[in-house]
Amino acid sequence: MIREAQVVENKVSNGRYLCLACYGKLVDEKTREMKEFLDKAPNASEGLAIDGPSGGLRLETSELVGEKTVRDEIWLCLMQEVVSKIGVWGMGGVGKTTIMKHIHNDLLKEQRFESVIWVTISKDFNVIKLQDDIASALNLKEDLAKEGNKVRRAAILSEMLKRAGKHALIQDDVWDKVSPEEVGIPEPSGRNGCKLVLTTHSEHVRKYMG
């Protein structure tokens, strides 16, 4: 029911409904359905409060040593609406992944995003695997596994991410150019509040990804 309500919200945000009357009718309908559900199961609200949308799993990481300034700079960018894409660039072994793991865990604690998604890309990158990894992070891999066509998979994943609401997608260890459109990653913007962060040793990749 929460997911259905998010779909309504996304349609309104994307301008699918042009009149307040249509929007109000949909909201009233979802509110009534939720009230009926809670009336039948009085204790269900406790479960909803605990479970809610899946934010993400905390990552194990080592202690930050000497990278706090860089960590704070990246964090500041994440908190600014005008910044939607962040590239963390540097040679291997300087601590990019460690910094981003700490930021990932801090984002979970702050609860500024409905979902914080971590995917590792590495040298063996392929579109299908990345799509599966993102869907798996959203606990929706089974919904994507039924589809074999890359273009349709991208469309399905795009809808999944839009339904996930305001999210931060962290792509770690990007070795080559990744087309968000080909994968099915919606363009992050100040309007949707989503962020795309990548770590890479390649300045060329960082520039290509914007």
Q: CATH number, domain at 134?
A: 3.40.50.300
Positive/negative CA dihedral, 104, 168, 1, 35:
positive
Report CA dihedral (181, 139, 119, 133) to the nearest 10 degrees.
-70
80 plus 118 within the same structural domain: yes
Total domains in the fold of the chain: 2
Give 50 or 127, the one with higher predicted confidence.
127
Structure-model confidence comparison of residues 177 and 18, the more confident one: 177
Stretch 79-88: mean pLDDT, rounded? 91
Pairing of β 195-200 and β 167-172 = parallel
Q: Using alpha carbons, select from 79, 75, 100, 64 the residue that is nearest to residue 174.
A: 100
Asked if 71 and 101 count as a contact pair (C-beta separation under 8 A), the reply is no
Q: Are 196 and 167 in contact (CB under 8 A)?
A: no
Q: Does this model's pTM top 0.75?
A: no
Say if residue 38 is in the same domain as residue 83.
no
| pLDDT at residue 147 greater than cutoff 90 | no
Whether 76 and 37 map to the same domain: the answer is no
75 and 176 part of one domain: yes
Range of the domain at 132: 68-208
